[in-house]
Each structure stands twice: as C-alpha cells, then as structure tokens.
Amino acid sequence: MEGLSVAQARKSENAGRQAVLQGWVRTRRDSKGGFSFIELNDGSCMANLQIVADGKLANYETEIKQLSAGCSITVEGELKPSPAKGQATEIHASRVTLVGHADPQTYELQKKRHSFEYLRTIAHLRPRTNTFGAVMRVRNQICRSIHDFFQEQGFLYIQAPIITASDCEGAGEMFKVTTFDLARVPKREQEVDYAQDFFQRPAFLTVSGQLEAEIFACSLGKVYTFGPTFRAENSNTSRHLAEFWMVEPEMAFFELSDNMDLAEAFLKRIFGDVLTKCPEDMAFFAEHIEKTTLSRLEAICNSEFVRLSYSEAIALLESAGRTWEYPVRWGTDLQAEHERYLTEEKFQKPVILFDYPRTIKPFYMRVNEDGRTVRAMDVLVPGVGEIIGGSQREERLDILKQRMAEQRLDPESYWWYLDLRRDGTVPHSGFGLGLERAVQFVTGMTNIRDVIPFPRTPGSAEF
C-alpha cells in the first residue's frame, strides 16, 4: 500500500490503487445507509478527498462517528472513480485511524468563516484555511519561479548577511543588533561604547542585500540574493512589513535598459508560472478575492510594460486635470495617488518609471548626462503600487565620492564599496522585488499581513 497525497489521490489515473493518506478532517456526514462521508484535506491542494467509511469498520461507532473538523487521521483503502460531481475519485476505507482528536466545542475552525483580521490572531491554525493554504502554495510557486528564472539564465544564488554594519541607503530605519543589557548600556563620555558590544561596532538587521550583491556581481557576473530584509519604520499600511523577503539580482555590464528588460521578463515569468502551475488556487482567488486576477495576469504576460521617464510622468500628472492631495512638482517623490493614477487609470498596466531626480534617490545610483537625474527605475503595478525598485549603479569613483559627500555619508565606512570602483570597475545594475508584494499582486489579497506565514508589523510579533 502506497502513501499518496490528496492531490495525487484525486487524479483519475489513480483509481483502482490501494493507498494510505494522512491529513485533517474538514467535515463528516453520516448517511442513512449506515456509512459516512469524510472530507479529508492534507494541504497538498485546495480540494479535499472524499472518504467513504463503511458502518462495518470496527471503530465505526466509537471513533469514525465522532470525527469532527480538525481531527487528524490516517486512512487506508481503495481509490475508486467517484459518482459525485467535482471529483474524479474517492477512497473506500478499509481502515480509518484517529491520530489526534480536535474538540468540536473549542476548535476554532469548526464552521464559522473568520475574518482575515481574526485569523491573524490564530496564526497557528490559519494555514488550515482554504485561503491561506492557497496563498502559501502560490507563494511557494513564486519562490520556485524566482530560482528557476535566474538559474536558467546563469545567475549565481548568493547569500547576503542578515546582520550588517552598513546602512544600505539611509533608506529605512534599521533594527539594532546588540548583546548589551539594555538596562545597563556601557557608556564612554556619555556616548554608547560600542567597542564593548558583540561586534565592537553598531550592527543592524539588513534592509537590503544590494551592496553585498554588488561585490559578487563585480567578480562573478550575474548573481542574485533572496532572503529576509528588515525595516523598522513605523508604517502601518497594507503594503509594509517590518520583516519581508526580497529577491535582488545584480548584474555586471548591465545598463538601465538591460535592467528594465530583465525586470519585465522576470515578472512575466512569475505571473505566467502561477497561471499554469497553480490553476486551482488561482481560480479560487478569482472567485473569492479578486474577480479580475486571471485576465489581468494574462494581459500583463501578453503585452509590454509602459516605460516612462519621471519627467514625462510629472508632465502627465500635471495635465491630468485633477487636484492632487499632494501637489505634483518636478523634484518631489511620487505619492501613492500619483502611482495609482498612472498604473490603474492612465495606462491600466505595469509602468516602469525611470530617471528620477538625483536629490530624492540614494547615493549609489548612476548620475545621468543631464546632471539632474539618476538612472533609477521603479516598476509600478495596479493595486499594489511599487513592486520593484532598482537602478544602474554609479561605477565612476569621483562621482560616487561626490554623491556621498552630497548626502553626508562617511566614505570611511564604505571603503570597500569605493574600492570596487578603483579596481576593475564596470557598469552594473540591479533591482529588488518584494516577495510579499508579488504574492499580493498575484492573489489579489488586500493586506500584506495575509501573504506571509508570520507577519511582523509595529506592535505585533506574537507568533
């Protein structure tokens, strides 16, 4: 007898086989004919396998008729073609063994549908819900596509450190890493004496693996990092987490247009894979979460992204004939309302904005000939807004030093970054995709807290 998953057991070609399955009961229904139907789910797919349990089974009265939602069981039996609609097979049990009981009086996922907010407070059980199971299977597929895409194109997977001494861009607030007793922090002339701390210097959780990826791109060509990143900003939005996963490719000899081409091909690959490899879960999202998700993803895979310079975008927004909450002016960062207008109304597809003013972007972005703009690019998508941020990096030592001075950064602490521009410098580019924003976009889930196993946000880290 062979162990099968529910996903395998549901395939018509497996009818006639003897099988063992293990999972959790969703429902039990007793028939007048003296047998019971049990719906079994094991997370391998959205659908359940129907178990037909005969009244003649030895533990029928004592155990099988007590089964309720959440009980874990092992079932052995023969897979047969099912007369019921919506399922090719069912299993006729020769044995059903209770593994772990769940009390119907207290089991939280008994019948009632809970809100996503409530499910966050029972994060230990929410993976057993249809929605969260589907989210996790889609998230898994996206991770797989990320690796497949880069591996097939000859990129090396590099692991950037999670603890770092460098602040990537002064971009976000960083979490500190210390072994100091916070009630008795060692001081020297009023200042914290980091020389006595574990790393003998201030250390942080990384906000990005980019600077480290640049080191490896400038030796090995095409690389990517993929891991957790941390932002300590107090932003309580539906698109921000304090801990999120970011994939960051970095490529030597790539200019900004190459970078845009790569980002577009990369997103199309992820969206296309999700459609072909997770059809059942995606149909669920289309039915229950966001009606247009399938057609939207298909349209994106089959059309070109809009490419628009920041200056062109400003002109479009100025002539849009509406009053913005945040006034539009060349030199200021675009707000969500502006991004939404461009991607959701004006173009109704992904938009790549590039060549931003140098004053609003980090020091490492390459300065354009005009001197006022840098080779930055953001990919905006409907519903989510910014999903990718990237740039061509400044490879010219003198200009990089100037930019650091401009932004009051200490060149001493970036000595190795500057060194890369001294010894065999090359044009190079890269970008960062927030994994959770990608999952949000694909599934249509409105809150980013519902697309990561255990969301970390201000005031919330229980699980």
Site for Mn ion, rule CB under 5 A: 389
The binder of ligand ATP chosen from 49, 241, 409, 420 (CB under 6 A): 241
- Residues in 279-318 at the binding interface with ligand ATP, rule: CB under 6 A: none
The binder of ligand ATP chosen from 136, 246, 439, 445 (CB under 6 A): 246
E-state strands within 32-178: 35-41, 49-54, 72-81, 89-100, 156-157, 163-164
- For residue 178, give every residue at least 6 positions away whose Cβ sits within 8 Å of its Cβ, in sequence order, or none: 197, 198, 203
Check residue 383 for interaction with ligand ATP (CB under 6 A).
no
Is the Cβ–Cβ distance between 54 and 14 less than 8 Å?
A: no
Check residue 436 for interaction with ligand ATP (CB under 6 A).
yes
Nearer to Mn ion, 437 or 449 (CB): 437
Question: Which residue is nearest to Mn ion, using beta carbons?
Answer: 389
- Residue 97 CB, nearest distance to ligand ATP (Å)? 43
- For residue 17, give every residue at least 6 positions away whose Cβ sits within 8 Å of its Cβ, in sequence order, or none: 2, 4, 78, 79
Check residue 211 for interaction with ligand ATP (CB under 6 A).
no
The binder of ligand ATP chosen from 10, 139, 437, 449 (CB under 6 A): 437
Other beta carbons within 10 angstroms of residue 1's beta carbon come to: 12
The binder of ligand ATP chosen from 388, 400, 420, 445 (CB under 6 A): 388
Nearer to ligand ATP, 376 or 420 (CB): 376
Is the Cβ–Cβ distance between 230 and 242 less than 8 Å?
A: yes
Say how far apart CA 79 and CA 49 lie, in whole Å.
10
The binder of ligand ATP chosen from 60, 150, 204, 244 (CB under 6 A): 244
Nearer to Mn ion, 385 or 389 (CB): 389
Which DSSP symbol is given to 368? P
The binder of ligand ATP chosen from 77, 209, 427, 432 (CB under 6 A): 432
Say how far apart CA 26 and CA 336 lie, in whole Å.
41
Structure tokens at 388: 């990718």
Nearer to ligand ATP, 60 or 226 (CB): 226
The binder of ligand ATP chosen from 387, 404, 439, 445 (CB under 6 A): 387
- Please choose, from the candidates 313, 301, 373, 303, the residue with its C-alpha nearest in 3D space to the C-alpha of residue 343: 313
The binder of ligand ATP chosen from 156, 171, 185, 461 (CB under 6 A): 171
Give just the sign of the alpha carbon dihedral 150, 151, 154, 159.
positive
First to last CA, the chain: 38
Decide which of ligand ATP, Mn ion, none touches 437; Cβ closer than 5 to 8 Å per partner kind. Answer: ligand ATP
Decide which of Mn ion, ligand ATP, none touches 171; Cβ closer than 5 to 8 Å per partner kind. Answer: ligand ATP
Other beta carbons within 10 angstroms of residue 438's beta carbon come to: 28
- Residues in 88-107 at the binding interface with ligand ATP, rule: CB under 6 A: none
Nearer to ligand ATP, 36 or 391 (CB): 391
Which DSSP symbol is given to 383? T
Which spans of this chain sit near ligand ATP (rule: CB under 6 A)? 171, 231, 240-241, 244, 246, 386-389, 432-434, 436-437
